[in-house]
Amino acid sequence: MTATLNEIRDQVCALHSELLRWGLVAWTAGNVSARVPGENLMVIKPSGVSYEDLTPASMIVTDLDGNLVEGDLSPSSDTAAHAYVYRAMPEVGGVVHTHSPYATAWAAVGEPIPCAITAMADEFGAEIPVGPFALIGNDDIGKGIVATLSGHRSPAVLMRSHGVFTIGKTAKAAVKAAVMCEDVARTLHLARQLGPVRPLPQPDIDALHARYQNVYGQQKGTP
């Protein structure tokens, strides 16, 4: 069943409170968007509105070139980056952007987060890569996200000196990736205070990732 536009407005609004709940955003920074299935449209946060004041009705609908379609406010200033990702990656149904502090600290030094713990192999299947530095205002951020994540297992990229962008089949999956990215960024930061961090061997990363992506969780039809 295809979600209606109103259902997607509800979902995108509710997912913004997850960014707050998990401590990924300050003030009005950060945004979630979702593709409208079967349409050349996406739903995204309005620009500069407090998280407490967001409502499903205040969510903005744009086309996949970032042009306003429905909404009384301006769309997020990151709309062009989200729109570029949807145009270039048809499998992506949700995009999230945050400046969550631990992950953004790695972005500030321009260093990928090494895949050194099993939870990270499960979820990301690789290091979390660094994308290029890009100024806001054109397609450069979107191009950097797509160039870094195309063909990469990680659904998260650390855009150099900026912050985190994540992608997912759904907006909820992209939010989960943003939460897990911050979690592993913090853990690996703490680990480095204790001593050198050694990445897991690639065969172990591959085995963990395959198991988690294919057999972990509640399987339909199993007791």
Interface with Zn ion (CB under 5 A): 163
What are the tokens at 219? 């399987």
Question: Which is catalytic among the residues 86, 97, 102, 209?
Answer: 97
- Is residue 84 flagged as an active site residue? no
Question: Which is catalytic among the residues 10, 51, 63, 122?
Answer: 122
Contacts of 7 by beta carbon, 8 Å cutoff, 6+ apart: none
Q: How far is the CB of 200 from Zn ion (least distance, A)?
A: 30
- Is residue 122 flagged as an active site residue? yes
What are the tokens at 20? 């707050």
Answer whether 60's CB lies under 8 Å from 48's CB.
no
Q: How far is the CB of 99 from Zn ion (least distance, A)?
A: 6
- Is residue 16 flagged as an active site residue? no
If the CB atoms of residues 82 and 172 are measured against Zn ion, the closer one turns out to be 82
Give the residue closest to Zn ion by C-beta.
163
Q: How far is the CB of 97 from Zn ion (least distance, A)?
A: 6
If the CB atoms of residues 93 and 163 are measured against Zn ion, the closer one turns out to be 163
If the CB atoms of residues 30 and 155 are measured against Zn ion, the closer one turns out to be 30
Question: Which is catalytic among the residues 16, 82, 162, 209?
Answer: 162
- Is residue 162 flagged as an active site residue? yes
If the CB atoms of residues 36 and 78 are measured against Zn ion, the closer one turns out to be 78
Q: Which helix (H) or strand (E) holds 9?
A: helix 5-21
Question: Which is catalytic among the residues 10, 51, 99, 140?
Answer: 99
**Long-range contacts formed by 39-46: CB under 8 A, 24+ apart:** 40/64, 41/5, 41/69, 42/82, 42/83, 42/86, 43/5, 43/8, 43/9, 43/12, 44/12, 44/75, 44/76, 44/79, 44/82, 45/12, 45/16, 45/75, 45/76, 46/71, 46/73, 46/74, 46/75, 46/76
- Is residue 65 flagged as an active site residue? no
Sheet holding 41-44, edge to edge: 68-70, 60-63, 41-44, 31-36, 94-98, 163-168, 156-159, 130-131
If the CB atoms of residues 33 and 126 are measured against Zn ion, the closer one turns out to be 33
What are the tokens at 184? 């592993």
Q: How far is the CB of 194 from Zn ion (least distance, A)?
A: 31
The residues that are catalytic are: 97, 99, 122, 162, 216
